[in-house]
Structure 1
Amino acid sequence: MRIKEVCEKYGLTPDTLRFYEKIGLLPRVRRDKNGIRDYSEEDCRWIEFIKCMRSAGIEIEALVRYVKLFQEGDATLEERKQILIEQRDKLQAKIEEMQKALERLNYKIQVYETHIKEAERKLKKTVTKV
């Protein structure tokens, strides 16, 4: 798959894909005889993984470390697992923080809805008196 197709499929820019490759986040992509990147299914699975992790707020540094360890093989299984656990715990804390913010927003919206209804009732009473 060419870079343009990959970008369209995953909603990324060519610069982003090149950056991911440059920093080691995306393992080296094969190139055809003309030097043009040719993304394999395996490359696409890595892109899906990276995109999912980034959308969850996982730090690039943690992902780069994970990829490097993955490339080193099974001797790094425990260390990779620990990276994922740490990132999961951070994500869980963010989710809890966001849940609190959502609850606060919902409360504030409810307060405004109550005030608006009260104001509409008062206005209605004033209009009917005139």
Structure 2
Amino acid sequence: MTITEVSKKYDISQDTLRYYERIGLIPAVNRTKGGNRDYTEESCGWIELAKCMRSAGIPIEALIEYCALTLQGEETITARKELLVEERRKLLEKIEDMQKTMDKLNYKIDRYEKAEITGVLSWDK
């Protein structure tokens, strides 16, 4: 696939794709004889992973490390797993924080809905 096709398929700018490759977030992409990027199914798998992890807030640095470890081979399996476990722990913490915020919002919305019915809103936090 060309960079244009990949950019459209994954809704990522061509500049971002080049950047991801340059910093090692995705492994080097094969090139055609003319020097154009030729994305394979494997390349696209890396892009899907990067996009998914970035949308979850996983730092670029962690993903670069993961990619580098993966390219080093099977002797890094434990290190890769540990990296992912740590990122999962951080993500679970974020989810807990967001759930607390959601609970607070739901509480306040409930109070306002009751106030709309009764015409009374007592002071709240």
Q: TM-score, normalised by structure 2?
A: 0.93
SS of the equivalent of 1:27 reads: coil
Q: Which amino acid aligns with 1:11?
A: D
Q: Which amino acid aligns with 1:85?
A: V
| Matched residue, 2:48 | 48
CA-based RMSD: 1.1
| Matched residue, 2:19 | 19
Q: Deviations over 1:50-107 (max 9, x none)?
A: 1111111111100000100100001111111110000000000000110111111111
| Matched residue, 1:65 | 65
| Matched residue, 1:74 | 74
In the TM superposition, residue 117 of structure 1 has moved relative to its aligned partner by 1.6
| Matched residue, 2:123 | none
Q: Deviations over 1:29-65 (max 9, x none)?
A: 0111111111000000111111111111111100000
In the TM superposition, residue 118 of structure 1 has moved relative to its aligned partner by 1.9
Runs of 4+ in 1 over 2 A off after TM superposition: none
Instruction: Give unmatched runs, 5+ long, in structure 2.
Output: 121-125
**Bigger radius of gyration among the two:** 1
Query: How many residue pairs get matched?
Result: 120
Larger fraction in helix:
1
In the TM superposition, residue 115 of structure 1 has moved relative to its aligned partner by 1.1
Report whether the alignment pairs 1:6 with 2:29: no
Q: Which amino acid aligns with 1:28?
A: A
In the TM superposition, residue 119 of structure 1 has moved relative to its aligned partner by 2.7
| Matched residue, 2:92 | 92
Distance 1:5 1:42 in 2: 15
